[in-house]
Structure 1
Amino acid sequence: MFPSLSALFAKAGAAPAVQALVIIIGTFILEDAATILTAMEVQTGQVALPVALLALYVGIVAGDLGLYGLGRLAALWPAARRWVKVPGDEGGENWFGRNVFRIVFISRFIPGARLPLYTACGFFGASLRRFALAAVLATLIWTTLLFALSLQVGHFLITHLGAWKWAGMGGFALTILLVGRIVANVRSPSR
């Protein structure tokens, strides 16, 4: 899988718009992996740094807004409103509205939390403007940190592993995912 991404970028060649589109689509599939792989492509010289970062930011924020939008659409479906039990008529709306920044920032850093929490923000009508601002800020922080770390790891892998750099990057991506799962399990109450 990893070399095929390189092949896509190589075919895109000097077409930054095509490279950006590939990165954006990648963020919709698995955004942390897309960030790591894109950093590796920047490190190998296949993608320019500004194209990579801008495409990552656009793709991730668009995905976040899409989750919010799915929640809003679900709120318009009467059957979905019946499935969700909240205390009082406006309990969820008030809580999500008051805590949208906290929700977005915390869920950005906790694996598996974005889907339910971002759709809940939309479902309960949290301010779209506040949600979007929080999503942009959280994405700028998290993606930039992960991208910078991935650049450093990518440089090390290219320098020391040569042809095995993709295996090393796959191991790095797997480590990031596993650490996220471990953190998610540690924060969960015991069963």
Structure 2
Amino acid sequence: MFPSLPDLLAAAGTSPVIQALAIIIGTFILEDAATILTAMEVQTGQIAIPVALVALYVGIVVGDLGLYGLGRLAALWPPARRWVAVPQDGNGQTWFGRNVFRIVFVSRFIPGARLPLYTACGFFGASVGRFALAAVLATLIWTTLLFAVSLQVGHFLIDHLGEWKWLGMGGFVLTIILVGRIVASVRSPSR
């Protein structure tokens, strides 16, 4: 009747649709790791580049729009409005509306900034159209760059580590995450 999980996982190896769905779900968990691991799968010949990139772009942009939507829903929920000090003069809405492109682009490249800033864009009612356009453009730039670097690293790991390539890729993912954490801690004030 319904395929089992092992059947679905086995089918993912040959089905671009299931591969794309797995990549999209992966972006909801950890975007950068999903991008790096997807590039590695492309490098091993398991996934085609167009399937990989389209799935990454779709998953990341849908996730970004989801964060915006959570902010918008919070703005409409009275208890959330009580938890957040909202300027009564509308300056928050004006500022986020005027700076939505800058906010999205800057936060795409600063680790840890997307969640608070994208939800704030939704909370303060920045234009969803401008937000979506900025999210698409920033995702195209960042994800393509990270994917290209990951392809090169994956090629090196396959050539030099053979069966140990996944350990090397795990180290690469960990390095990207740690560098992001270090950058985030350097830019935040001491407590």
Letter in 1 for 2:139: T
Between the aligned partners of 1:97 and 1:103, the Cα distance in structure 2 is 10
Between the aligned partners of 1:147 and 1:11, the Cα distance in structure 2 is 24
Pairwise mapping of residues 1-191 of structure 1 onto structure 2 (< 5 A)? 11-191=11-191
Q: Which runs of 5+ in 2 are unaligned?
A: 1-6
The CA deviation at 1:15 is 1.0
Between the aligned partners of 1:10 and 1:150, the Cα distance in structure 2 is 25
Between the aligned partners of 2:82 and 2:125, the Cα distance in structure 1 is 16
Q: Decide whether the 8 Å contact of 1:72 with 1:122 is kept in 2.
A: yes
Give the aligned partner of residue 4 of structure 2.
none
The CA deviation at 1:62 is 0.2
Q: Decide whether the 8 Å contact of 1:9 with 1:19 is kept in 2.
A: no
The CA deviation at 1:8 is 7.3
Q: Which piece of structure 1 moves more, 76-85 or 54-63?
A: 76-85
Residue 125 of structure 1 aligns to a residue whose secondary structure is coil
Q: 1:9 to 1:155 in 2, by over 3 A?
A: farther
The CA deviation at 1:38 is 0.1
Q: Decide whether the 8 Å contact of 1:61 with 1:136 is kept in 2.
A: yes
Between the aligned partners of 2:177 and 2:14, the Cα distance in structure 1 is 32
Q: Decide whether the 8 Å contact of 2:161 with 2:168 is kept in 1.
A: yes
1:139-163 per-position Cα deviation (integer Å, ceiling 9, x unaligned): 0000000000000000000000001
Residue 86 of structure 1 aligns to a residue whose secondary structure is coil
Q: Decide whether the 8 Å contact of 2:72 with 2:124 is kept in 1.
A: yes
1:113-139 per-position Cα deviation (integer Å, ceiling 9, x unaligned): 111110110000000000000000000
Residue 30 of structure 2 aligns to a residue whose secondary structure is helix
Q: Decide whether the 8 Å contact of 1:9 with 1:47 is kept in 2.
A: no
Q: Which runs of 5+ in 1 are unaligned?
A: 1-6
Give the % identical residues.
84
Letter in 1 for 2:180: G
Letter in 2 for 1:72: R
Letter in 1 for 2:43: Q
Q: Which piece of structure 1 moves more, 45-54 or 91-100?
A: 91-100
Between the aligned partners of 2:169 and 2:26, the Cα distance in structure 1 is 16
Letter in 2 for 1:37: L
Between the aligned partners of 2:163 and 2:99, the Cα distance in structure 1 is 47
The CA deviation at 1:11 is 3.4
Q: TM-score, normalised by structure 2?
A: 0.93
The CA deviation at 1:83 is 1.5
Letter in 2 for 1:90: G
Between the aligned partners of 1:164 and 1:9, the Cα distance in structure 2 is 22
Between the aligned partners of 2:96 and 2:10, the Cα distance in structure 1 is 44
How many residues get paired?
185
The CA deviation at 1:9 is 6.5
The CA RMSD over aligned residues, in Å, is 1.4
Q: Decide whether the 8 Å contact of 2:11 with 2:18 is kept in 1.
A: no
